[in-house]
Amino acid sequence: MPELPEVENVKKGLKELVINKQIKYVTVLWGNIVKDPIVETFISEIKGQRIITIERRGKFLLFVLDDYVLISHLRMEGKFRVEQSSVPLTKHTHIIFTLDTGEELRYLDVRKFGRMSLVDKNRVSLHPSLASLGPEPVCEELTVEKIRLFLSNKKRSIKSCLLDQKMVAGIGNIYADEILFASGIHPARIGESLTSTEISKLHHDIIDIMEKAVASGGTTIRTYSNAYGREGSFQQNLKVYGKAGTACVNCQTPINKIKIAQRGTHFCPNCQI
C-alpha cells in the first residue's frame, strides 16, 4: 500500500500532467470506487471543473477543483495514468476523466479497493476521511508533546499506534518498521510504556525517515513497481522491512519477522529490546 512518500511522489508526477486542465466529463465504469456522493451526482458535479492544483494529506490525494475537492485514496493498488484517448483502456480502468486537451486521466485499480469522494471545497477539512487525521510528520506540525499526549493512555503496541492515522498521518507498514528500528524500540512495546527519552527519539526518527523517504521519491518494491508514476529509491535505505533472516546492519543479528497488529512486522531482536 502506498504510504505518504509514495503518494507525495504520485502527486508531484500528476501535477506536471493535469494542472490547469478542465474535466470535460467523467465516465464511471466501476461505481464502487465512488464513495460519495452518489455516482450520478459525482458525474454531474465534476463536469466542467478545472484542476487548479493537487495537494496531499496523509495518504490522501486531493485534487483541488474550481468548486470541489476530489479526495482519492489509492489503498492497495490504485494508480492514475494520463493517456491520449486513442490508447486502449486496460480491464483495470475504472474511472476516466476526459480533459479539455483530449487526454484522459484514468484511474486503474486491480483490487478495486481505492475510493474517491467529491467534497464541497469549504467543507473538505470536515470530511470523515480527513477530519480525524493527525499531524503531518514535519516539525512545524508534529511535536513531541502531541506524541506524548497520544501515547499517554494507549494500551496497544507502539506499532499499532504508528499505523493509527490519528497519531501521525501517512505512516504505513514499511515506514513504521523502519522508524521503530531507528529508534531502537521493540514494535510490541505498549504505547503508554515509552519513556520521554524514547518519545523524543521516536519524534525525531518519524520526521527524519519520512523526510528522507519523500526526498527519495518513496519506496518502490517489486510488486508495486507499476503503481506510481516514477520509481522511488528509498528501498535502498530500508534496514528491516523485507529483511527477515538477513543480518542487522548494526549488530549482525538476523532480522526477525512477527505479526503485530495483524501486520508483518520486522525488527532486530538485539537492537530493539
Q: Distance of CA 125 to CAs 53, 60, 220, 248, 266, Å?
A: 16, 12, 30, 42, 34
Q: Contacts with Zn ion in 120-139 (CB under 5 A)?
A: none
| Cβ–Cβ < 8 Å for 232, 219 | yes
Residues 95, 112: Cα–Cα separation, whole Å: 11
250 binds Zn ion (CB under 5 A): yes
Select the residue interacting with Zn ion from 251, 258, 259, 264 (CB under 5 A).
251
Q: Any known ligand binding at 92?
A: yes
Part in contact with Zn ion (CB under 5 A); list of ranges 64-72, 113-121, 178-186, 244-252:
244-252
Q: How far is the CB of 247 from Zn ion (least distance, A)?
A: 8
Output 70 or 255, the one with its CB closest to Zn ion.
Answer: 255
Place of cell 507499476: 226
Q: How far is the CB of 244 from Zn ion (least distance, A)?
A: 13
Part in contact with Zn ion (CB under 5 A); list of ranges 144-152, 171-179, 181-189, 253-261:
253-261
| Cβ–Cβ < 8 Å for 216, 232 | yes
Q: Which of 57, 59, 106, 201 is catalytic?
A: 59
| Cβ–Cβ < 8 Å for 23, 64 | no
Part in contact with Zn ion (CB under 5 A); list of ranges 2-10, 228-236, 239-247, 250-258:
250-258
271 binds Zn ion (CB under 5 A): yes
Residues 78, 146: Cα–Cα separation, whole Å: 32
Select the residue interacting with Zn ion from 248, 260, 261, 267 (CB under 5 A).
248
Give the residue nearest to Zn ion (CB): 248
Residues 259, 265: Cα–Cα separation, whole Å: 6
268 binds Zn ion (CB under 5 A): yes
270 binds Zn ion (CB under 5 A): yes
* CA gyration radius, the chain: 20
**Per-residue three-class SS string for 131-149:** HCCCCCCCCCCCCHHHHHH
Judged by the rule CB under 5 A, the positions of this chain that interact with Zn ion are 248, 250-251, 253, 268, 270-271
Q: Binding site, residues?
A: 92, 111, 154
